Amino acid sequence: MTGHFINGALVPSTGATNIEVRSPAFGELIATVPDATPDDVDRAVAAARASFQAKSWRGKDSSEKELILWRLADLIERHKDELARLESMENGKTLREALRADVNPGIDAIRYYAGWVRRIYGETIPVDGPFLNYTLREPVGVVGAIVPWNYPTCIATWKFAPALACGCSVVLKPSELTPLTALKIAELASEAGIPNGVFNVVTGYGHTAGEALARHMDVDKISFTGSIRTARSLLKASAESNLKRLSLELGGKNPNIIFPDADLEAAAQSAFSGIFSNKGEVCSSGSRLLVHKDIHDRFLDRLVDRAKKMKVGNPLDPETEMGSQISRQQMDRILGYIQSGIAEGAHLACGGGRDTEGDKAKGYFINPTIFSGVQPHMKIAQEEIFGPVLAVIPFSGVDEAIEIANGTIYGLVSAVWTSDIKTAHRVAAGIQAGSVWINTYNGFDSASPFGGYKQSGYGRDLGSYALEQYTNVKSVWVAL
Residue 3 CB, shortest distance to ligand NAD, in Å, is 18
User: Where in 13-32 is the site for ligand NAD (CB under 6 A)?
Assistant: none
Closest by CA to 165, choosing from 468, 451, 452, 448, is 468
Binder among 34, 106, 197, 251 for ligand NAD (CB under 6 A): 251
Q: What is the DSSP letter of 477?
A: E
Given candidates 3, 167, 197, 206, which one binds ligand NAD under the rule CB under 6 A? 206
User: 285 Cβ partners below 8 Å, 6+ apart?
Assistant: 252, 254, 274, 275, 277, 278, 386
Is 36 one of the binding residues for ligand NAD (CB under 6 A)?
no
Catalytic residue among 154, 166, 168, 283: 283
How many distinct helices (H) and strands (E) make up the chain?
Answer: 15, 20
DSSP state of 464: G
199 bridge partner residues: 170
Cα dihedral angle (230, 110, 47, 239), rounded to 10 degrees?
-30
Q: Which of residues 132-161 bind ligand NAD (CB under 6 A)?
A: 146-150, 155
Looking at beta carbons only, is 105 or 313 nearer to ligand NAD?
Answer: 105
Residue 478's Cβ-count burial label (10 Å; 0-12, 13-18, 19+) is exposed
DSSP category for residue 406: T
Is 350 among the catalytic positions? no
Binders of ligand NAD among 355-384, rule CB under 6 A?
A: 384
Site for ligand NAD in 315-334 (CB under 6 A): none
Rounded to an integer, what distance in angstroms lies between the CA atom of residue 286 and that of residue 314?
Answer: 24
Task: Tally the residues of the chain.
Answer: 480
| Binder of ligand NAD out of 249, 286, 372, 427 (CB under 6 A) | 249
Which helix (H) or strand (E) segment is 349 a member of? strand 347-350
Taking CB under 6 A as the rule, which mask of x and - marks residues 214-233 in contact with ligand NAD?
Answer: x----------xxx--x--x
Distance CA 296, CA 290 (A): 9
- Strands (DSSP E) contained in 142-218 are 142-146, 169-173, 199-201
Closest to ligand NAD by CB, 285 vs 320, is: 285
The verdict on whether 168 is a catalytic residue reads no
Task: Please identify, among the stretches 162-170, 203-211, 341-349, 462-470, the one whose residues bind ligand NAD according to the rule CB under 6 A.
Answer: 203-211
In the complex with ligand NAD, the residue whose CB is nearer, 394 or 452, is: 452
Residue 171 as a binder of ligand NAD (CB under 6 A): the answer is no
> In the complex with ligand NAD, which residue's Cβ is closer, 248 or 401?
248
Task: Check binding of 97 to ligand NAD (CB under 6 A).
Answer: no
Q: For the segment 416-475, give every residue that binds ligand NAD (CB under 6 A).
A: 452
Name the site residues for ligand NAD (rule: CB under 6 A).
Answer: 146-150, 155, 173, 175-176, 205-207, 210-211, 214, 225-227, 230, 233-234, 249-252, 283, 384, 386, 412, 452
- Active site amino acids: 249, 283
